[in-house]
Amino acid sequence: MIKIKVILILINLSLLMANLKFDSVKIGIPESLGVFGLISVDFEISNISTNEDDVFYLTLGTFPIPIIGGAGLTYKRYFNSFQIDPISNTYFKPYVSTTLFSCYMMGASDSMANTYNMATLGFGADFFVIKVNSTNINIQAGVFTQYNFSEREFFGSPSDQPLIWPTINIKISQDF
């Protein structure tokens, strides 16, 4: 029975992914999945918003050793355009984002994986670093907090007070 459920989930994800546009790969702590997505991929869900500063993503991520990971829906609102400053050839683009996602943590060999439903709220900025051919490399930095709906509590952070996580990652994206 479990194999049938896994196969149905994979078929549904494959059909969904066929209609999505690849946006970026992030390496580091993203504002969307936090530690559940140290390596994450964003796929833009098009035709939801006519404003190019409002973006919706399907976000998939995992830890480098796939004992934890997650997937969810991210909304990101940018506060200025992606116009590169012609003098310095850089840009600074602040944003706010929120993500609803499910994550998993593998247990010991004799126990099941734990799954949780969570939400994040993050603030940060996107900094342009370099463009090579059609590949853009940016650094994103900011802060976020995570709420665990399954446990009805904020997810613990390195600072523990006020439960705020730092976010910094390298974002690699393509121009299409």
Sign of the Cα pseudo-torsion (71, 102, 77, 97, in order) = negative
Range of the domain at 15: 2-174
**Whole-number Å distance between alpha carbons of 80 and 96:** 12
User: Strand 92-105 vs strand 114-132: parallel, antiparallel, or unpaired?
Assistant: antiparallel
Which strand (E) or helix (H) includes residue 126? strand 114-132
CATH number at residue 165: 2.40.160.20
Distance of CA 30 to the CA centre of its chain: 6
Please give the model's pTM, rounded to 2 decimal places: 0.76
Comparing 99 with 151, the larger pLDDT belongs to: 99
**Whole-number Å distance between alpha carbons of 94 and 158:** 24
Domain total of the chain? 1
- Give me the chain's average pLDDT, please: 79
pLDDT band at 80 (very low <50, low <70, confident <90, very high): confident
Residue 123 has pLDDT above 90, yes or no: yes
Residue 31 has pLDDT above 80, yes or no: yes
